[in-house]
A and B are shown apart, each in its own frame.
Chain A
Amino acid sequence: MTPIPEDLLREAARQVLGALVRRGADFAAAEDAVQEALLEATLKWPDAGVPKEPAAWLTTVAKRKLVDAQRADAARRHREANAALEPAAGPTEQSDDTLLLLFLCCHPALSPTLAVPLTLRAVGGLTTREIAEAYLLPEATIAQRISRAKKTIADLDLSGRGDPLGSSEPDKSQVLRVLYLIFNEGYTAGDRVDLAAEAIRLSRLLHAASPGPEVAGLLALMLLNHARRDARFDNGTLVPLDEQDRTRWDRAMIAEGVDLLQNALAEGRHGEYQIQAAIAALHDDAQASDETDWTQILAWYDELCQGTHNPLAELSRAVALGEVDGPLTGLRALDRIEERLTDYHRLHAVRAHLHERAGNTKEAAALFTKAADSATNEAERNHLLKRAARARPE
């Protein structure tokens, strides 16, 4: 019994699917065929050994499955795949294939609920079960989402299947958004699939296939946050940034993120991911929490808020403003966004934090409790309850 290296299968799955779709195979049918080929590989390879060219082996099997499926479905016979084994694609073609798959899986016609599992399976090479475990959902629910996603894609008019890539400067914002959503869901509990690491892997693929300042910015943002992961949780308890053990931050990952970010910023086309990454880099750069360069952070938040007018960005800006110009100034800034964030627990939490800094412990305790009451995240709620208890005057 030879164990199959997991990365090998997942890499090969993406390459094979990309090659099939590029050569004109129907995306949904090809995706099914690749899944079946993967299954066959996991059954046969442990005994027979991993073939010398795993991607070629999987391509042959997937094509056979595709032809079988099409024979079974006479209506589809006109799309019969070419069963002949073609030479393996070169690195450039593989990059293009990855990009093509990402554009299909993150097509604007798909809601994130559908785009996320499809991307994880078709591009990330995860199984339906792994995706279900990562999202704590029944496997059948994820299977249904993938099947709906594929049906939506099949119904699209992608005349010239390379359509999403048709323009010389294709809009990658939807792909970036889906990858960011996957990252945000990521956490590390138990033996569950690490979605944050998966999002980083996919972003690296995108960056290799189609570099650009916002792609680099997103990858940098992920790395600069992921580097703090080990310090962010202590036995399931959330540790806020200013209390984290900074010696546990992954310095190599931070260095990689900073390097990516500097090159991206040098191109002079700032976007929201680069700006958020710049803020994360400034936090990572401080040896201790009281050495944080809040003035620079505030400047980046100013730029972010100008671009997006997003109330959540303004909320974070108020924290930075409170550090630079004092908590009362921060509180005044909150008054301006209050209307747009009614009963949002983080608004109460930020206001509580600023009151605490201003020495209004009674208000702070009441507001932390209010924030805890409206939080929908357990770790966050517990953290807010503890802050309320700490703020409560003796």
Chain B
Amino acid sequence: MALHHVRDVIRPLTLEEAWQRKLEHGPAARFLGGGIDVVLYAPPTVSTLIDLEGLDLSGVREDASWISIGAMTTMTEAIESATLGRYASGFLVRVLKAVASPLQRNLATFGGTLGSAHPWSDVIPALLVLEAELAIYDGSERTVALGTYLDERKAGESPVIRAIRLPKGSESARGAFASFTRTGFDVPLLNVTCLAVVGEGAWKDVRIAIGGTPGLAKRRRDVEEELVGRPIRVEGIAAAARSAADAIDARDDVRASAGYRRRLARALVERCLLEIVEGGAE
């Protein structure tokens, strides 16, 4: 319900102004994407909200090398984007369609999702396997790999995210994901997200992220290395799934036990990899 501690909502006219106001107020200020996470989780120390609406940060654009999703783009807008529908066979769109509910997808923005980086996020692992970069602004414009951004972020202290950039060249990649939930409208007990390029009976490139452990998704380069360059074999897939499960940092929480999460990781990694392989059989 109402955030009684919030005194001001500022609508800056430029990105520079937005950043300046953030510097002025420090941790007492939060950037506002769709606002969901601010309404639900902003602590009482937050008194100023800086709305990033109106800064032309919405929309999906495409150039020769990149697809750029403006940080204020909602999940629904991304789902409806023809550009994203073509990208990596619509992989990101498929992931987005399963997130939360349509009511929330109409509000939730990419920037907000990254800013809050909830450990149950299904969007973040998809962006990790797509090797997304973030165009950010923290006084100057720069780009940073998504993984780096996640490792370095502190709650409430993020730079302004301008856009999420997806490298083209993943066109021939095939993706599969499994977000294991209790009911249809739920956050995952575990999620597994895979993107791979296969050719000549071998794994040319494999990217695997496992999340909801209950920690935030991470790339499993150890498992990827087991597969890349190797011929595609059922035993190899099974072995990779076992490695994935053995080494995840799984914990008990209100949704599942660590042991069960390990079991799920193994089953779901195996299934995602098989799905990618079988998908080529058309």
Chain B associates with chain A = no
* Chain A residues proximal to chain B, CB less than 8 Å: none
* Chain B residues proximal to chain A, CB less than 8 Å: none
